[in-house]
Amino acid sequence: MAHTWSPEQYLRFGGERARPFLELTARIGAEDPQRVADLGAGPGTQTALLAERWPKAEVIAVDSSPEMIVRARTIPGLVAKLGDLRDWSPAAPLDVLITNAALQWVPGHLELLPRLVDLLAPGGWFAMQVPGNFEEPSHALRRELAAEEPYAGHLQGIASPASHDAATYLGALQRLGLEVDAWETNYLHVLHGQDPVFEWVSGTGARPTLQALPGPLREQFATAFKAVLREAYPDTGRGVVLPFRRIFAVGRRPD
């Protein structure tokens, strides 16, 4: 079942979601690129930082969600295009290609890396980041609950994110001829509000599950999911701590 994305829900934790993007792009050594693309750019709020960093560049925000692209088109300095990162191609080779928190939704995305690297100009930079927290309670509890009836019958074939470790991406990109830096970071996000972990995952990993369920079952699932998430992520009185592992790789194509 196809699902849609909500810019408003995604941006509820915009500051926390921007931190990996900032860490990723800080490792890109391009000084004066002409063509920059962000594949899976979402609402474009983070892509806008690229336009600020490289004001002379054409900065393209690409996303497969019409809702996200409508939002991205309101941001000055961006060229927002509706497209699928699996087959989108630029009009000319890119000096910088970024894909941040998007490849985890593409099954077998290691096989996609050669095509993405081929989009680079000589001396171009490729930068990627994916979550690496799919065994954490925020995902594991959702899968366990989704496997139960009456939910399981509605959740066959829903999109399911997955990723590899930093060493796997390092090796894959090195074999494509890039000079690569790869690493992992474990964030400890301190969240506030009512059921903040549920609100976080509702904008990302849990969204396909929730959208696949009919209205009454969706509410029932959400209630049960919130309850187990509260046990797994208790409020300490100073907020709810959400550990979040993320995996990064930045590579440069030789001149």
CA distance 254 to 163: 26
Do 212 and 1 meet the contact criterion of CB atoms below 8 Å apart?
yes
Q: What is the DSSP letter of 128?
A: E
**Mean pLDDT (the chain, rounded):** 92
Which one, of 91, 120, 88, lies nearest residue 102 by Cα?
88
- pLDDT per position as a tens digit, 135-179: 999 999 999 999 999 999 999 888 889 999 999 999 999 999 999
pTM over 0.85: yes
The two tokens of residue 187 are 């964030």
Q: Across residues 64-85, what is the average pLDDT?
A: 94
Helix (H, G, I), strand (E, B) or coil at 247: strand
- pLDDT per position as a tens digit, 20-57: 999 999 999 999 999 999 999 999 999 999 999 999 99
Helix (H, G, I), strand (E, B) or coil at 129: strand
Output the pLDDT for position 206: 86
- pLDDT per position as a tens digit, 87-123: 999 999 999 999 999 999 999 999 999 999 999 999 9
Do 47 and 72 meet the contact criterion of CB atoms below 8 Å apart?
yes
Output the pLDDT for position 13: 63
Taking the CA atoms of residue 180, residue 24, residue 74 and residue 87 in that order, the dihedral angle to the nearest 10 degrees is: 30
Q: Quick one: how far is CA 157 from the chain centroid?
A: 20
Q: Which CATH class is domain 7-252?
A: alpha beta
The two tokens of residue 66 are 């019409």
Confidence band for 16, pLDDT divided at 50, 70 and 90: confident
- pLDDT per position as a tens digit, 60-71: 999 999 988 999
